[in-house]
Amino acid sequence: MMKRLAHAALTLVAAVMLAASAVAADLKHPGLINSGGRLNVLSRLEKDARSSDRRQSYYASLDKDRRFSVDYQPRAMDYVLVVARTSNESEKRFRNDMAAAYFTALRWVKTGDNRYRAKSIEIMNAWADKFVALTREKGTKTGPGQIPLEAAWAIPIWANAAEIIRYYRHPYGDPGPEWKDSDVRKFRAFLGRLHAQRNEMRRDHVDNQGVSGALADMSLGVFNDDRRLYEAGLAQARALMAGIIANDGEVKELRSRDCVHPQYSLIGLTQAGQIEMNQTGQSTLLSMTRKGGKQPVLASGIEYMSRALNEGSDARDCRTAKLLDGYAPMVKRLYANDNKIQLNELNNAMETAPKRMSGLFPEGTEFTHGEEGPQ
């Protein structure tokens, strides 16, 4: 018990220090993976019957997901037990609640129904009031690196939900229930406790873990108006890109590991690029090329991964694997206005490969970044 209290005190101090270091900057809001313009497009879809069949089918599948429901009940905990290479009941509760906070925020945007706004606020407040820290489950082979990785996965989902509720102004209907300033402060402290644990991650991860850490820094940096933290995360994502995506497009961990972890890297880099685009109107992550190269590094990696899903690749045959949610519709939209960039393999994968959510990133990207509307 004393150890837990000491850890709680340390993380609380870290949270306070993080908040104190944040400086007001000209960061845009909403400015994470969903810009104000993108959310405005989403807000019109309830009244617009012109959505594609694929997108309408996607909506129908989300309607069956209890995390989109106004009846969803959060189950906040003080300590979340984490485990490597699988998930336990504690992790499931944590991940489902953070996904529900994000999904109900999106559903509020789409429907204008303030019950969903209230539900998202309820979930975030519940965790801000209760949570102390992530901790390893005893009796498992979970190493110390799992805690900072879990924290890095969690921060962008929570921050994206909070960014919508805190900053988006719905174009029709009444403003909805207020997210009180005192509750927002508690929620920032909650994210600060998570970020203190994210900071325990080794800084030499040139893989999906390093990308997840960079995305967490960018996401919290935007939500907290902390340009220093945002820029540090962006710089890390840039530095990781060339080490993760080879000259021929092969994505690190595809050859040595599986068809899933390389997609985690692509999700993180794509979402980082989307955030940078929403902040500045352009993205160094999306446009980065190698000397003498024509196709952007990120696009080449996504095409290589898509080829592995479509027909197999030299690194690994992923034809029985699934296309993870979190990046395909987003990257297709991000590159849509550049006629020099062809994403034929990605288009084929989107049409034919089975889809699934990972639960580790802000997802529902066909819903948020599908075919209709402007960038």
pLDDT in tens, 144-197: 899 999 999 999 999 999 999 999 999 987 888 999 999 999 999 999 999 999
pLDDT at residue 3 tops 50: no
**What confidence tens digit (pLDDT) does each residue in 279-288 have?**
999 999 999 9
pLDDT tens digits for range 285-314: 999 999 888 899 999 999 999 999 999 999
Residue 18 is predicted with a pLDDT of: 43
Instruction: Say what percent of the chain tops pLDDT 70.
Output: 88
pLDDT at 173: 75
| Mean residue pLDDT across the chain | 89
Q: Give me the mean pLDDT over the 43-72 stretch.
A: 71
More confident residue, 32 or 137: 32
- Its pTM stands at 0.90
Residue 22 has pLDDT above 70, yes or no: no
Phi, psi of 141 (to 5 degrees): -90, 20
